[in-house]
Amino acid sequence: MSASPFNAQQSRALVAQLKRSQIFKDYEQAFRETTGLPINLRPIEAFDLPHHGDPKEAPFCALMAKSNHSCAACLQLQKRVEQEAQLQPKTLKCFAGLCDSAVPVRVGDNLIAFLQTGQILLHAPQKTEFTKATRELVNFGTVVDVKQLEEAYFQTRVITRKQYESILRLLTIFAQHLSAVSNQLMVEEATAESPAIARARAYIAEKHAEELSLGEVSHVVNMSAFYFCKTFKKSTGMTFTDYLARVRVEKVKNLLLNPHKRVSEAAYEAGFQSLSQFNRVFRRIAGEAPSAYRERFHGQESH
């Protein structure tokens, strides 16, 4: 059974949790200090400028954000970037030639957020480009202080294409880390949880390696299967089947930290009944094959 698609509300809640995490705070600070660029983790369907107010916001973009018309052009670019970055990183240029990039953060099949950076030029700012940009702004109906705007435009950070590709690679690696953290949060989330659901989760944690049915767990917590299904989904945001699958996948990941553990052994130890089912579920939840996951840790493929 596949997980239900992530919606904007779930994305906002998860992004808020991730932003409070130490791993995100540390990376955010290190990224800004090392690259001198803005960074933001944004939920899906966010309708705001990603870097407005960021300590590393480009002076030109900060001025643009003050005008409704130019701000609307920036928001349209954001929408395009996100539409085209659903599966892989995407970089687009704004009307003034500045680059903005989005890297998707995915948990299995679900797009849950975007990591964004940009507001840079890939070549030295040029007078002809600035003149073209100011003409665009006049067409938008924006009232501009040309001298102030030109000064800000020529302060724009210039980065070589190769350097920028490396920066986006760093963001892509971090997106994979956030994906793993998100999966753990989805398993561990226990807000507003009834004692019965807490007992059910504890029972699943204890018995996940065995053949575990919905009927068995609902019986343990003295609920009908139908009512348990409904209550469990409301409390955890997941079906019983998907929750059990995620618990088992986390167990497999932990077991595969041992370089001597075979993938098949880990799968059966975690409670999967067949390798084909295991491979399908692991790929859906982790976003990659078990062998690829293991290879990233040990540099070798296990069969």
Domains and their CATH numbers in the chain: 8-185 (3.30.450), 191-298 (1.10.10.60)
Rounded alpha-carbon distances, angstroms, from residue 114 to 80, 104, 259: 13, 5, 32
Contacts of residue 206, defined as CB under 8 A and 6 or more positions apart, other chains included, come to: none
Q: Is the separation of the CB atoms in 60 and 41 below 8 Å? A: no
The helix/strand/coil state of 121 is strand
Q: Which pLDDT belongs to residue 279?
A: 93
- Whether the CB-CB separation of 100 and 81 falls below 8 Å is answered with yes
Rounded Cα distance between 250 and 252, Å, is 5
pLDDT of residue 300: 44
70 Cβ contact partners less than 8 Å away, ≥ 6 residues apart: 64, 137, 140, 142
- Residue 189, pLDDT above cutoff 70: no
**Per-residue tokens: 132:** 């073209």
CA distance 112 to 105: 6
For the ranges 56-65, 74-83, 271-280, the lowest mean pLDDT is seen at: 74-83
Q: What is the pTM of this model?
A: 0.64
